[in-house]
Structure 1
Amino acid sequence: MSDEIRLRGLTVRGHHGVFDFERRDGQDFVIDCTLGLDTSAAAQTDDVLQTVHYGELAEGLAGVVAGEPCNLIETLAQRLLDVALGYDLVEWAEIVVHKPSAPIPLTFADVAVVVRREKS
């Protein structure tokens, strides 16, 4: 499948991390999501019900980031992937979780975890 829907730079405050101050104070997480699906029916019918509504996708992903805290961004990425793969039309999904304020005492450009899965 070569069709994709991409959502980039979704920024949501969450309380994920292994340190107490991360859980207490929270920080922004930036999410990129790519969905693999066939968009030809949507293109032919011009009907949003024949595709994944990216506004609803964004809301679902944001709810996960703002929701139940976890220690690892790997866990957060898997939770987000579960949302993305929950759409019937989606054949595969990729999630990137960026943690721009990761507690690293050095200068860095980005910390991210990337997960990609196909439906079984």
Structure 2
Amino acid sequence: MTDRIQLTGLRARGRHGVYDFERAQGQEFVVDAVLELDLAPAARSDEVTDTVHYGELAERLVAVLTGEPVNLIETLADRLLAVCLAEPLVNAATVTVHKPEAPIPHTFRDVAVTMRRTR
């Protein structure tokens, strides 16, 4: 399957992390999601019901980001993948969780975890 819907740079404040101060203060997380599905039916019909409504998907992903805290961004990525794969038309999904404010005592640009799952 080569058809994809990509949602890149979705940002929300969450309270995920191993340290107490991460839970107390929260920080911004950034998510990239790639959904693999057959987009031919939507292209033919021009109906949103024949594809994944990316606005509604974004709302569900943000609910996970701002919801119940977890220790690891690996766990967070897994929960976000579950949301993506709950879409009946999706055959596979890849999620990258960026944690640009990770508590690392050195200069860095980003920390990210990428996970892919198929049906």
How far apart, CA to CA, are the structure 2 residues paired with 1:29 and 1:79? 14
Structure 1 residue 4 displacement after superposition: 0.1
Aligned to 2:67: 67
Give the TM-score taking structure 2 as reference length: 0.99
Structure 2's unaligned 5+ residue stretches are none
Structure 1 residue 90 displacement after superposition: 0.1
1:26 aligns with 2:41: no
What value does the CA root-mean-square deviation take over the aligned residues?
0.3
Is the partner of 2:78 in helix, strand or coil? helix
How far apart, CA to CA, are the structure 2 residues paired with 1:14 and 1:106? 22
Aligned to 1:38: 38
Report the number of matched residues: 119
How far apart, CA to CA, are the structure 1 residues paired with 2:60 and 2:12? 12
How far apart, CA to CA, are the structure 1 residues paired with 2:13 and 2:87? 24
Structure 1 residue 75 displacement after superposition: 0.2
Amino acid at match of 2:51: T
How far apart, CA to CA, are the structure 1 residues paired with 2:110 and 2:99? 7
Matches within 5 A, 1:48-87: 48-87=48-87
Amino acid at match of 1:27: Q
Matches within 5 A, 1:99-118: 99-118=99-118
Structure 1 residue 109 displacement after superposition: 1.2
Aligned to 2:89: 89
Structure 1 residue 82 displacement after superposition: 0.1
Aligned to 2:16: 16
Amino acid at match of 1:44: R
Give the TM-score taking structure 1 as reference length: 0.99
Structure 1's unaligned 5+ residue stretches are none
